[in-house]
Amino acid sequence: MKSILQTNNAATILLIRLMVGAVFLSEGIQKFLFAAIRGAGRFEKIGLPNPDFLGGFVGSVEIVCGILVLAGLFTRLSAIPLIIIMLTAITTTKTEVLQNEGFWAMLHGSRTDWSMLLGSIFLLITGGGKWSIDKWIINRHQAG
């Protein structure tokens, strides 16, 4: 458990946590609010199986992991499903853009996807940082 919570002491990690957590939280909520264009409807359009289940499942994971990342609680563990979501999103939606519109159109259309993927990988590597619940738990455990 200690190695999962272990984190870099940099205070600036908070900025990455705020970006990644807020975007995933927002996107997860939107999968429920606008299911036809952001959730099940979107998943059906791109050909994913069982879109009704998948829309709610992915939305729930994004909400829960977004909140955990924002709080800096189990940051490394929370980053793993977010990385999987982003790899799936890039693979299922940007491959077609690459084939039909070319490399530069794909890069332009995937800039947020890459930011969220790389931000999540960064959090997997570094942990929640100085101002995280992970750090507070580690400090408390070492003191006691």
Does the pTM surpass 0.75? The reply is yes
* DSSP states along 68-126: HHHHTSSHHHHHHHHHHHHHHHIIIIIHHHHHHH-HHHHHHHTHHHHHHHHHHHHHHHH
* pLDDT tens across the length of the chain (144 residues): 667 888 888 889 999 999 999 999 999 999 999 999 999 999 999 999 999 999 999 999 999 999 999 999 999 999 999 999 999 999 999 988 999 999 999 999 999 999 999 999 999 999 999 999 999 999 998 886
- 33 neighbors 57 (Cβ within 8 angstroms): no
Give dist(CA 44, CA 40) in Å, integer: 6
Record the tokens describing residue 106, joined without a space: 């794909």
- 11 neighbors 117 (Cβ within 8 angstroms): no
Q: What is the pLDDT of residue 1?
A: 62
